[in-house]
Amino acid sequence: MTPISPDNLAALQACVGADRVLTDAAALAQYGRDWTRVHTPAPSAVVLPGSIAEVQALVQLALERQLALVPSGGRTGLSAGAVACNGEIVVALDRLNRIADFNPVDRTVRCGAGVITAQLQAFAGDQGLFYPVDFASSGSSQIGGNISTNAGGIKVIRHGMTRDWVAGLKVVTGSGELLDLNRGLVKNNAGYDLRQLVIGAEGTLGIVVEATMQLSRPPKDLAVLVLGVTDMAAVMRVLETWQGAMDLQAFEFFSELALQKVVAHQGLQRPFATEADFYALLEFEQNTPADMEQAMALFEHCMEQGWVLDGVVSQSVAQAQALWRLREDISETISRWTPYKNDISTTIARVPDFLAEVEAVVSSAYPDFEIIWFGHIGDGNVHLNVLKPDALPMAEFQQRCGEVSRWVFEIVQRYEGSVSAEHGVGLLKKDYLHYSRSAAEIAIMQQIKRVFDPQGIMNPGKIFDL
């Protein structure tokens, strides 16, 4: 770990209080990393501000003394966007966790950046409303981090990304200014929408400190259907068929190998005896009995077409939750194999060919690698997971995965897709940004960075180098 000078330590303590500056090895390791394990955390200190004014004071101090800051939320990211490995000061926003100013007419609520996603979801439920952005890490991810990475998750096909639910935003820029953006307005065409620049910027333009979040009506009587599907082309046909007739809340997919791992290690049951190459999980509302009748008619049609081999529909809330676990427990299950993970996307119609090319190139080079697929197929986002063979040393596995990344991103470029569908660029993917963004786009991004953060103190080294 990089030690902090006594003078800088005292100045940080003056900003937030002596007990809110952490320098012990355990705290530096905990707050200096996210869910990635590629980079060794090496911050010089961790500060936990309790107000927007304290965040501004920290930024002003950083400007005066040229101190690099790394904003930190729930640290559930998968791109090393919240990793501090070069003596930076971690600004952990855990204490900015108040929910206030609920507006039942506008269906908005003001949240501190440190509000946990599940906390907002529960608050919305208590008001008879719904916050739809959801994912496996909702119990620990924070709203500020969700905004900074434009988090997506399992409901994107129906409800969109985090950016679609941010009605207003407060951010402390790299020049120490507090911007109050959009202020909860539904319609606001008065110039550039700077709010949307900050969303997904991974803390490189400033520190998100507060957000006004939009809520919605809750879905009614959700049903979950899991289908065994013959191949990826058939998955697309199933999606097309269902979307043409019903409004889906979710459309997820996972592979047979993913299902095998979850069943073996999570104490879950297979949804049905029939094995299939892939499985589709659909969620839909049952507003009337006719909705289930329609779903069953669509299921029968897909069976008749030969796209679907078998299926099961939830008969209770508990069964729906159990079926969701077949998809949601995959990441936790495979973590024991220290997997190489990559979230990539292309247009929805091109996913089958895209996935087949990726699997072919990886399997051809490394036939001993187990490949796990799952993802949000309804929005073109697939998650590639390669499990480390037990006998393969980690250093060699990482070296091989570096080759895999290059091959995969070359395919992404040919398919005009994205090297990062939802987890951001961070440190892990910045060398591959040019596969998805043109030189002109990157140059404009760098210019925007200089305007918001002229001295380069905000999460330096993430997304690109200046």
Q: Looking at the domain assignment, is residue 71 inside a domain? A: yes
Residues 104 and 83 in one domain: no
Q: Looking at the domain assignment, is residue 266 inside a domain? A: yes
Q: Looking at the domain assignment, is residue 461 inside a domain? A: no
CATH of the domain at 259: 3.30.70.2190
Q: Looking at the domain assignment, is residue 413 inside a domain? A: yes
CATH of the domain at 164: 3.30.465.10
CATH of the domain at 397: 3.30.70.2740
Residues 393 and 423 in one domain: yes
Q: What is the CA radius of gyration of the chain?
A: 23
Residue at a domain's end among 214, 233, 251: 214
Residue at a domain's end among 176, 193, 214: 214
**What is each CA distance from 194 to 179, 393, 456, in whole angstroms?**
9, 46, 19
Non-local (6+) Cβ contacts of 224 within 8 A are: 281, 282, 283, 313, 314, 319, 320, 323, 324
- Give pLDDT tens digits for 285-305: 998 889 999 999 999 999 999
Residue at a domain's end among 175, 190, 214: 214
Residues 133 and 84 in one domain: no
Both structure tokens of 51: 């107000």
Give which of 253, 258, 249, 262 is closest to 229, Cα–Cα.
253
At CA 378, angle to CA 373 and CA 383, rounded to 5? Answer: 25
Domain range enclosing 273? 222-331
Residues 143 and 238 in one domain: no
| Other Cβ atoms within 10 Å of 460 Cβ, number | 18
Q: Looking at the domain assignment, is residue 31 inside a domain? A: yes
Residue 191: CA atoms inside 13 Å, Cβ hemisphere, count?
Answer: 4
Q: Looking at the domain assignment, is residue 451 inside a domain? A: no
Q: Looking at the domain assignment, is residue 428 inside a domain? A: yes
pLDDT mean values, one per 10 residues, the chain (466 residues): 89 97 96 90 97 98 97 93 96 98 98 98 98 93 97 91 97 97 96 97 98 96 97 95 94 96 96 97 93 96 98 96 96 91 93 93 93 91 93 93 93 96 93 97 98 98 94
Q: Looking at the domain assignment, is residue 159 inside a domain? A: yes
Is 57 within 8 Å of 7 (Cβ atoms)?
no
Q: What is the pTM of this model?
A: 0.94
Residue 466 confidence (pLDDT): 86
Residues 109 and 210 in one domain: yes
